[in-house]
Amino acid sequence: MEEKKPKRPKKPKTFAPSLSGRCLRYSVMDLLGFGRQLSDDTLTAMHEGASLHKQFQQSLATSCDVVGLEVPLKNSELRISGRIDAVVREHEHCIAVEYKTMRDEKFSAMRMTGPVFDHWAQLALYVNIGGYYGGWLVVENRGTGERLTWPQTPDPSWTEWLVQRIAAAQEYQEKKALPLREVSVKCRHCDRWQRCFKSESDREAAIAAHPLWEPVPQAPDITWQNDPAVWRREGIQ
């Protein structure tokens, strides 16, 4: 009788850069393979975003020196794996580019309040852990095509924060356990909220009692990004 080959142990899922600025519990759910509840609106937005994403990458070639598109980022020590939308060369330096699209209302709000933390954190991972000279966060209004771009430079406080958060998420992943909730207004738009609350009213009550996100350790400050002098940037149209 033929001997059965022993099954290879399944490799643990790697940490996706898009989880960088998320609630720890959400990240662990992702690492453990929990599903997401995507609404029709979200699916439509994802579909539109994917086609705009392609157009953006094509348009970069006409305005920048493109080093690569969908550039892999892997760090085996930290067990991170992902792809950077684009890497461009500016004055002989490599810059990581992250592109996002937003609805008109959110885009308008962003002019006043600066970039979304999750987006900024994802770019911070590319710049600080990927070792890039700098980064650009490009956000496009899905309705009007208008774009805002924020430049980012390396910052050791981001490296420290990201490494600690990733290690904490992977510790729970190894134990196959979920950390406590990090309740905040972000729960309202979370596509795994049903794993945290019995009902919408339960969720809303928790948000009312604790609206601010308070990750441990405390996240680096990004409020200085609200200054229009920082984000107005020529070059990407």
Give 127 or 183: the residue with its C-beta nearer to ligand SF4. Answer: 183
**Element (DSSP H or E) covering residue 161:** helix 156-175
Cis peptide leading into residue 217 (ω within 30°)? yes
Q: Cβ neighbours of residue 156 under 8 Å, at least 6 residues apart? A: 128
Among residues 154, 73, 151, which one has the least CA distance to residue 115?
151
We find the least distance from the C-beta atom of residue 104 to ligand SF4, in angstroms, to be: 24
Coil, helix or strand for 151? strand
We find the least distance from the C-beta atom of residue 94 to ligand SF4, in angstroms, to be: 33
Coil, helix or strand for 33? coil
| Residues engaged in binding ligand SF4 (CB under 6 A) | 23, 25-26, 181-183, 186-187, 190, 192-193, 196
Q: How far is it, in rounded angstroms, from Cα 30 to Cα 4?
A: 32
Give 31 or 127: the residue with its C-beta nearer to ligand SF4. Answer: 31
We find the least distance from the C-beta atom of residue 173 to ligand SF4, in angstroms, to be: 15
Give 191 or 227: the residue with its C-beta nearer to ligand SF4. Answer: 191
Give 62 or 199: the residue with its C-beta nearer to ligand SF4. Answer: 199
We find the least distance from the C-beta atom of residue 198 to ligand SF4, in angstroms, to be: 12
